[in-house]
Amino acid sequence: MKSSWIIFFNIIFFQTIVANTIQVGSNYPVKSIKKAISMAKAGDTIIVNKGTYREGTIVIDKKIVFLGKNLPILDGQSKNEVVSVKADSVVVKGFKLINSGHAALEDPCGIKVYNKTFVRIYNNVLDNNFFGIYLQNCNNCIVKGNKIIAYGKEEQLIGNGIHCWKSDNLQIIANTISGHRDGIYFEFVTNSVIWRNISTKNIRYGLHFMFSNDDSYITNIFKNNGAGVAVMFSKKVKMYNNYFEENWGDSAYGLLLKEIADSYIFNNKFVKNTSGIYMEGTTRIKVEKNEFVSNGWGMKIQASCMDNEIVNNNYLKNTFDISTNGSLVLNTFNSNYWDKYEGYDLDKNGVGDVPYHPLSLFAVLTETNASTMLLYRSFMITLLDKSEKVLPSITPDNFIDKTPLMKSLPL
């Protein structure tokens, strides 16, 4: 045991002795980043001092720590990819990367990592790049604390803020992203975590999943995007403690779920979205302890959904709490709070004695004929809704919460 510790400390001491620090800047002998990289050996640190560097694409093909001091600017001059990482275990920290090229086929980026592992990208500012940070076929990488800004007007003319493709075990933490096509994009990404990010004012989605399984996104803010989050063709996705706000538009949602299964939506807040959650082709999704406040529709659950459980949620001040496009109901609603519930609780156990039908007649009519919204809040519609609740004829009988709560849950 003693000999193994001696070997360990000898290795650490040896690495300390052989690793060098190379300073780059106008006041240092080395003035070029590319020259510093050519001089460096694996394990070295390159410190780039404050200034503006226009050196074309900077390729990091050695295991180095690449540090910016006082936020030096790396300018792609609207022609080049700014930084290309082509080695394992690289650290990129503390830079401002601006003005990458724009090209539909090559996807130039502020920072792109090619087929590598254990890369760390920390505390950078990426401004006016086609793609911000792009991880291609990467494993065990961390993207943390970056500020990513673009100014896209059309989704065909701008890339994604953080784009991850065919990767495993990624951590996307505490980044702020705005102005891109999608704030964060996952395609064929597994066993990864998206945590404490703020994704706002992106053209399409704040976060977009495609064919990505066993991932989690936790404690993020998705505000004022074309739509908040889309999870498509995926399974076993955990969605906890997120905030979806003001994602408005004809086809906008706080959360769009399409062809996903075996996932869990817990303790999220949906405020002022066109639809809080839109579900199509979903199976075995549990929606628990979420809050739906002041949305156009709290939830839209299409007839193609089955075996989903909606339990212990609050529905407050939504125009419609629930809507669907068919009469077949294969999902269950239990113990939710509905602010439109007008039942009573004679035994004082906190549960309404009369079951609640959350699907209103007007919601059904609006689903089939959008122009009926012109009659919203009219006396005739109110009368029809009241009649339908007493004697259901158009809304499905089994679209029902048998144990509606009398008080909202403290979420």
CATH of domain 102-390: 2.160.20.10
Q: How confident is the model at residue 53 (pLDDT cuts 50, 70, 90)?
A: very high
pLDDT value of residue 106: 80
Q: How confident is the model at residue 15 (pLDDT cuts 50, 70, 90)?
A: very low
pLDDT value of residue 370: 59
pLDDT value of residue 137: 98
Dist. CA 269–CA 245, nearest whole Å: 8
Q: How confident is the model at residue 399 (pLDDT cuts 50, 70, 90)?
A: confident
Average pLDDT, integer, range 177-201: 98
Query: What is the CB-side half-sphere exposure of residue 78 using CA atoms within 13 A?
Result: 2
Token pair for 240: 């906890």
Mean residue pLDDT across the chain: 89
Is the pLDDT assigned to residue 369 strictly greater than 70? no
pTM to 2 decimal places: 0.89
pLDDT value of residue 11: 45
Query: Over pLDDT 70: what percentage of the chain?
Result: 86
Query: In 3D, which of 115, 165, 111, 166 has the Cα closest to residue 143?
Result: 111
pLDDT value of residue 252: 84
For tokens 């609050």, the residue is 314
Query: What is the DSSP annotation of 161-173?
Result: SEEEEEEES-EEE
Segment (H or E) for 301: strand 297-301
Is the pLDDT assigned to residue 385 strictly greater than 70? no
Residue 278 bridge partners (DSSP): 256, 300
Residue 65 bridge partners (DSSP): 45, 91
Dist. CA 362–CA 320, nearest whole Å: 9
Q: What is the dihedral of CA 168, 172, 178, 179, to 10 degrees?
A: -20
Is the pLDDT assigned to residue 364 strictly greater than 60? no
Query: In 3D, which of 146, 138, 199 has the Cα closest to residue 170?
Result: 138
Could you give phi then psi for residue 304, rounded to 5 degrees? Answer: -80, 0
pLDDT value of residue 411: 75
User: For residues 359 and 392, which has the higher predicted lDDT (pLDDT)?
Assistant: 359
Is the pLDDT assigned to residue 13 strictly greater than 60? no
Query: In 3D, which of 341, 322, 311, 317 has the Cα closest to residue 407?
Result: 341
pLDDT value of residue 107: 86
pLDDT tens for residues 152-167?
888 888 999 999 999 9
Is the pLDDT assigned to residue 310 strictly greater than 50? yes
pLDDT value of residue 342: 86
Q: List Cβ neighbours of 306 (8 Å cut-off, separation of 6 or more).
A: 283, 330, 331
Q: How confident is the model at residue 273 (pLDDT cuts 50, 70, 90)?
A: very high
pLDDT tens for residues 97-155?
999 998 877 889 999 999 999 999 999 999 999 999 999 999 999 999 999 999 988 88
Q: How confident is the model at residue 181 (pLDDT cuts 50, 70, 90)?
A: very high
Query: In 3D, which of 157, 164, 155 has the Cα closest to residue 121?
Result: 164
Query: In 3D, which of 291, 241, 284 has the Cα closest to residue 266?
Result: 241
Domain layout of the chain by residue ranges: 102-390
pLDDT value of residue 105: 76
Count CB atoms within 10 A of the CB of residue 243.
17
pLDDT value of residue 396: 61
Q: What is the dihedral of CA 12, 16, 18, 24, to 10 degrees?
A: 140
Q: How confident is the model at residue 8 (pLDDT cuts 50, 70, 90)?
A: very low
Terminal C-alpha separation, the chain: 52
Dist. CA 311–CA 332, nearest whole Å: 8
pLDDT value of residue 325: 82
